[in-house]
Amino acid sequence: MQVKTQKDEIETYLSDASNMAGGSAEKLFLPENVDEIAEILKDADAAGTAVTVSGARTGTVGGAIPYGGVVVSLEKLNKIRSIDKTALFAIVEPGVILADLQSAIDNEGLFYPPDPTEWSCQIGGTVATNASGARSFKYGATRRFVRRLTVVLASGEIIDLIRGETVSDASGQIAVRTRGGREITARVPTYDRPNVRKNVSGYYNTQPLDAIDIFIGSEGTLGVIAEIELELRPKPEGFFSGIVFFQSGSQLLSFVDEAMARSFAAREAAEQRSATDIDASLLEYFDGNALRFIAEKFPEAPADAAGAIFFEQETTAANEDEMLERWNELLERHGADLDRSWFTTTEQDRERMRAFRHALPVAVNERITRYKQKKVGTDMAVPDENFAGFLRFYDAILSASGIDHVIFGHIGDRHLHANLLPKDDGEAEKARHIYGRCVAQAIMLGGTVSAEHGIGKLKRKYLSAMMGERYLNEMAELKRAFDPNGILGRGNMFEEKYLD
Ligand X SMILES: Cc1cc2nc3c(=O)[nH]c(=O)nc-3n(C[C@H](O)[C@H](O)[C@H](O)COP(=O)(O)OP(=O)(O)OC[C@H]3O[C@@H](n4cnc5c(N)ncnc54)[C@H](O)[C@@H]3O)c2cc1C
Which residues contribute to the site for ligand X (CB under 6 A)?
16-17, 52-60, 63-64, 74, 94, 116-118, 121-122, 124-126, 128-129, 131-133, 219-220, 224-225, 361-362, 452-453, 456, 489, 492
Q: Cβ of residue 131: shortest distance to ligand X, in angstroms?
A: 3
290's CB contacts (< 8 A; 6+ apart) are 307, 360, 406, 407, 408
- Beta partners for 240? 313
Residue among 330 and 359 whose Cβ is closer to ligand X: 359
How far CA 231 is from CA of 44, 91, 145, 148, 272, in Å, comes to: 33, 9, 5, 9, 25
> What CA–CA distances, in Å, run from 227 to 37, 219, 232?
12, 16, 16
Nearest distance from C-beta of residue 368 to ligand X, angstroms: 11
Q: For ligand X, give the closer residue by CB, 219 or 229.
A: 219
Looking at the Cβ atoms of 16 and 427, the one nearer to ligand X is: 16
CA 304 to chain centre: 31
Question: Which candidate, 324, 164, 330, 322, places its Cα nearest to that of 252?
Answer: 330
What distance in Å separates the CA atoms of residue 329 and residue 89, rounded to the nearest whole number? 38
Could you tell me which of 136, 67, 98 has the C-alpha nearest to residue 460?
67
CA-to-CA distance for 141 and 133, rounded, in angstroms?
7
Closest CA to 446 of 460, 462, 463, 466: 466
Q: How far is the CB of 456 from ligand X (least distance, A)?
A: 6
- Calpha distance 439→304 (Å, rounded): 30
**Whole-number minimum distance, CB 240 to ligand X, in Å?**
22
Nearer to ligand X by Cβ, of 254 and 485: the residue is: 485
To ligand X, the closest distance from the beta carbon of 76 in angstroms equals 12
Shortest spacing between CB 41 and ligand X, in angstroms: 11
Q: Are 451 and 442 in contact (CB under 8 A)?
A: no
347 within 8 A of 355, measured Cβ to Cβ: no
* Residue placing its CB nearer to ligand X in the complex, 118 or 483: 118
The CB-of-497 to ligand X minimum distance in angstroms stands at 19
Cβ atoms of residues 93 and 77 within 8 Å:
yes
When the beta carbons of 56 and 376 are compared against ligand X, the nearer one is: 56
Sheet strands (E) in 288-335 = 307-315
3-state helix, strand, coil in the chain (%, to 5): 40, 20, 40
Neighbouring residues of 145: CB distance < 8 A, sequence distance ≥ 6:
112, 113, 114, 139, 230, 231, 232
Q: Indicate the residue among 241 and 315 with the shorter CB distance to ligand X.
A: 241
Minimum distance, C-beta of residue 411 to ligand X, in the bound complex (Å): 13
CB atoms within 10 A of CB 81: 12
Q: Which is nearer to ligand X, 103 or 173 (CB)?
A: 103
Q: Coil, helix or strand for 91?
A: strand
Give whichever of 96 and 336 is closer to ligand X, judged by the CB atom.
96
In the complex, least distance from residue 254 CB atom to ligand X, rounded to whole angstroms? 25
Q: 362 has which bridge partners?
A: none
Which of residues 194 and 220 has its CB atom nearest to ligand X in the complex?
Answer: 220
Closer to ligand X by CB, 83 or 368: give it: 368
Least Å distance, CB 338 to ligand X, is 28
Question: Cβ distance 55 to 16 under 8 Å?
Answer: no
d(CA 3, CA 28): 6
- The residue number with the shortest CB distance to ligand X is 125
In the bound complex, what is the minimum distance in angstroms from residue 220's beta carbon to ligand X?
A: 3
